[in-house]
Amino acid sequence: MPAELLDLFLTYLSVEKGLARNTINAYAIDLKKYILFLKEREKDLISAGKPGILDFIELLRSDGYSIPTVCRYTSSIKAVYKFLLMEDRIQEDPTENLMMPKKWERVPKALSVSEVKCLLEAKFPVKTRLRDSSMLELLYSSGLRVSELINIKPGDIHFEAGFIRVIGKGSKERIVPVSARALGRIKKYISDERPSILKKRQSNYLFVTRSGKPMTRQRFWQTLKAIGRQAGIELSPHIIRHCFATHLLEGGADLRAVQKMLGHSDIATTQIYTKVTTDRIKKVFKTYHPRA
Is 286 tagged catalytic? Answer: no
What long-range pairs does 125-128 form, CB within 8 A, spacing at least 24? 125/223, 128/193, 128/197
Q: Which domains can be identified in the chain, with CATH numbers? A: 2-102 (1.10.150.130), 113-288 (1.10.443.10)
Among candidate residues 145, 185, 242, 247, the one labeled active-site is 145
pLDDT in tens, 236-289: 888 899 899 999 998 889 999 999 999 988 787 787 777 767 666 667 667 776
Give me the tens of pLDDT residue by residue for the chain, a chain 292 residues long.
467 888 889 998 988 888 888 889 999 999 999 999 998 888 888 888 888 898 898 888 777 777 788 889 999 999 999 999 998 989 989 998 887 765 555 555 788 898 999 888 888 888 899 999 999 999 999 999 998 999 999 999 999 999 999 998 778 899 999 999 999 999 999 999 999 999 989 999 999 998 889 998 888 988 888 888 888 888 888 889 989 999 999 888 999 999 999 998 878 778 777 776 766 666 766 777 676 6
In angstroms, the CA 21 to CA 18 distance is: 9
Q: Three-state SS for 123?
A: coil
Catalytic site includes residue 229: no
Amino acid at 102: K
**The Cα angle at residue 82 between residues 80 and 88, in degrees rounded to 5:** 105
In 42-139, the DSSP E strands lie at none
The verdict on whether 185 is a catalytic residue reads no
Q: What pLDDT is stored for residue 166 in this prediction?
A: 93
CA atoms within 13 A on the CB side of 42: 0
Q: Does pTM top 0.85 for this prediction?
A: no
- Per-residue pLDDT, 104: 52
Is 238 one of the catalytic residues?
yes
From 17, 106, 169, 213, active-site residue:
169
CA distance to 75, 198, 208, 282, per residue, from 203 (Å): 44, 8, 8, 49
Our answer to whether residue 264 is catalytic in this structure is yes
Active-site option among 72, 241, 242, 247: 241
Catalytic annotation present for 145 = yes
Task: Name beta bridge partners: 208.
Answer: 214
